[in-house]
Structure 1
């Protein structure tokens, strides 16, 4: 497992967090700081950007993982609302998720992610309790959901993906 950083996550999308590296500036007479343009939200051609809340049950570790999904027409962002860390298990775009290319990230409670189009990912992996996430994704025409299963399940433990 690796910490969630903008550089490490770049092949899969963007980290959404208020940090000193991005564009930020005071607004509202100095009573607020705007952390501007943190992700390339992409509703795809003919799509609309929508906001939803997903409530995820906590993940007990260790656990097996086999099912992955991707959204080929648009990006999908997950922003934690419950003040808890979560895991992000991803693989690069490909016809199927490659078990050898899986990356496991630990997002702290102040970080969200925006997954680029067609990035394979596991369902939400909440830690420490039931957790709500603001999800920004696409509504519109076309098939924007693919599902794939690994030939052999992998074990996810508290430290890494065990092949």
Structure 2
């Protein structure tokens, strides 16, 4: 029987075990550009093995409720940050690891403009912009060697909207 989970709002505290939520919360760390720009400094735990950081653009098709998840993946050689450039919200599905198997799935729904950085080796669903096509800048590892591990789900996982979704 397929497992069902309910999505919850994306918060830094709720997501910390899987990665970082990057947004301009509170006062900036410092003012720059003659006081005209607030800098929220070093907000992500970026982690790349050998290789280098690369910036790519992704164009993802819209997803809707309930979300069917039939594949999760992880990146053993580096973290991966998703930065919406089109303002799309996203459904972020993550799981803990138990001996190479994803377990204890959770789902989060971002607000427009929230950035997600997934920690190295974090199981996650594929990019899923909510309700509209989404364009994302993606910061991740570029280099030699495999940095993608996929795990098909059969039966699939289903994600239902939660409060605020």
For normalisation by structure 2, the TM-score amounts to 0.89
Q: Which of 31, 48, 51 lines up with 1:47 in the alignment?
A: 51
Matched, 1:31 2:36: yes
Distance in structure 1 (CA, Å) of the matches to 2:62 and 2:46: 27
- State the shift of 1:63 in Å: 3.6
Distance in structure 2 (CA, Å) of the matches to 1:31 and 1:146: 43
- State the shift of 1:60 in Å: 2.4
Matched, 1:110 2:116: no
Determine the structure 2 residue equivalent to 1:4: 10
Q: Is the contact made by 2:88 and 2:133 (CA closer than 8 Å) also made in structure 1?
A: no
Secondary structure of the 1:29 match is coil
Determine the structure 2 residue equivalent to 1:121: 124
In the alignment, structure 2 segments of 5+ residues that lack a partner are: 1-6
Distance in structure 2 (CA, Å) of the matches to 1:139 and 1:124: 19
Matched, 1:76 2:73: no
Q: Is the contact made by 1:97 and 1:150 (CA closer than 8 Å) also made in structure 2?
A: no
Say which structure, 1 or 2, has more relative contact order (CA 8 Å, 6+ apart): 2
For normalisation by structure 1, the TM-score amounts to 0.90
Q: CA RMSD in A?
A: 1.5
Q: Which of 41, 65, 83 lines up with 1:61 in the alignment?
A: 65
Determine the structure 1 residue equivalent to 2:26: 20
Matched, 1:141 2:144: yes
